[in-house]
Chain A
């Protein structure tokens, strides 16, 4: 257990990677959005912004980085793959949870200040802002974990099978997607698919994404088990 915590501490030795850069991205995305809103003449309509996603995409890069850069070093620190995995994913989940709570709180501020005084929507997006606090936080959390795990697994595949593995993985993904699209068209399922998507709520999306995360997490671990530094 102690070593798992130490893996997290090792990932935090350089404060920028997990803490500094996300903070800069969040603050600058916020300020830039406000600046843009201030420049556009108010028309009474709500301003929408996707800038709050910015930090989430950084987490995909972080997933790649924490494997490619830190895994070979963790092996030199005599850390087992399992300990490295739990420590790294655990640290990430903690950071993601903190940001999710922060997003929820910023959403409350946004509503209370009439969209930061500009009638804007940055955190309290219509679709989720009316949900229960737990659902909102869960939604952000799962989204970030999913992006991190995607980055982490792809980096692990690359580490283990290099370019060949990456190529085959993408080909496999393309084949599966095309197959699904073809099947849907052939069976005339598009209306059903449309209905299904419309019927989704933030909670059900979170549940599906959580399932996806579990698959990614399991796949990453099994891939990492036999990866060499």
Chain B
């Protein structure tokens, strides 16, 4: 509160959420500035939905503090009215059709844009007068996507918004999201499995695994942080010496390793001299390798602990 600068859009301080037998969030600390598009990535059950629930006051942390615009969101209508979070498994009143759901949204979201919602309905070919419980999975997702986009809330969470949407509908979602973000800058937090599809939208990536943040960086910065080295196995091995290796693959005498770190020009020259090929690693590859490396590390510590016992 005595911080003179404006508070971050989102701040988590050592937030832990324990379910009966598992830690969904493990001392998560995170600070996200406003007016950017964030990717919240991670495997199923990594803690993405729990994190968003805590931030929107829909769920409760076991310990720690979650702040939105510098205030606790729980039971705080002032803060909540500036947030929109449609769950992946969002429930709607049984007797509602999509038109009625949008009418509700127009009551509660001050920036609601009905014309934009109408345009999206058209583009997603969503039947407005059919009961929501009779909609297909893709159409159900479209209802959530439309509410999320047309509400223009200052912070909008999209929780796996594309389930059941076909490739065309997904592309429409990505396009409208980027266009509307450009016209009305706000904070978007997009949780997604389809990392390659959303990679170009994201300005910042937060990777969560087993309730811990294992990556929190600008997408631009992340793109260069790992490289695939391919070539003769022994050359690859000597080149990779002293580096963090995220992944090893080999075929006969050939090897392809994913190593962490930025390549300097000298290093690139060295690689060329050794006859090695350097290839950039896609965000999806990096996320997969990072997550698997983190899992291995956990397994390693566990087995070390076993040995110590």
Q: Which residues of A are at the interface with B, using a C-beta cutoff of 8 A? A: 3, 6, 9-10, 13-14, 16-17, 69-70, 72-73, 75-83, 225-226, 228-229
Contacts and interface: CB of A to CB of B under 8 A. Distances in A.
B91 A78 contact: no
Nearest to A226: B60
Most buried by B among A9, A70, A77, A229: A77
A17 B85 contact: no
Given A13-B100, A79-B108, A228-B59, A3 B95 contact: no
Contacts of A13: 96, 100, 103-104
Given A13-B103, A76-B85, A6 B108 contact: yes
Contacts of B59: 228
Contacts of B153: 78
11 contacts: A10-B107, A13-B103, A14-B100, A69-B91, A76-B86, A76-B147, A77-B105, A78-B81, A81-B75, A226-B60, A228-B60
Contacts of A77: 104-105, 107-109
Contacts of A81: 75
A69 B94 contact: yes
A81 B76 CA distance: 9
A94 to B, nearest CB: 18
B93 to A, nearest CB: 4
A10 B83 contact: no
Contacts of A17: 95
B57 A9 contact: no
Nearest to A66: B93
B87 interface: yes
Contacts of B94: 69
Given A72-B91, A80-B80, A3 B108 contact: yes
> Nearest 9 A-B pairs (CB), nearest first?
A72-B91, A78-B80, A69-B93, A77-B108, A6-B107, A80-B75, A10-B104, A13-B100, A80-B77
Given A13-B96, A16-B95, 20 more contacts: A3-B77, A6-B107, A13-B104, A69-B93, A70-B93, A73-B96, A76-B85, A76-B87, A76-B147, A77-B105, A78-B81, A78-B83, A78-B85, A79-B108, A80-B57, A80-B77, A82-B77, A228-B53, A228-B60, A229-B58
Nearest to A225: B75
Interface string B1-38: 00000000000000000000000000000000000000
B109 to A, nearest CB: 7
Overall SS of chain A's interface: helix
Nearest to A75: B58
Contacts of B80: 78-80
Contacts of A80: 57, 75-77, 80
B228 interface: no
Nearest to B93: A69
Contacts of B95: 14, 16-17, 69
B161 to A, nearest CB: 13
A161 to B, nearest CB: 13
Interface in B100-126: 100-101, 103-105, 107-109
B94 to A, nearest CB: 5
Most buried by A among B75, B90, B91, B94: B91
B89 to A, nearest CB: 9
Nearest to A83: B77
A110 to B, nearest CB: 34
A133 B168 CA distance: 64
Contacts of B58: 75, 228-229
B56 interface: yes
Contacts of B109: 77-78
Most buried by B among A16, A70, A79, A229: A229
B7 to A, nearest CB: 19
A88 B56 CA distance: 21
A72 B77 contact: no
B84 interface: yes
Contacts of B56: 75, 78
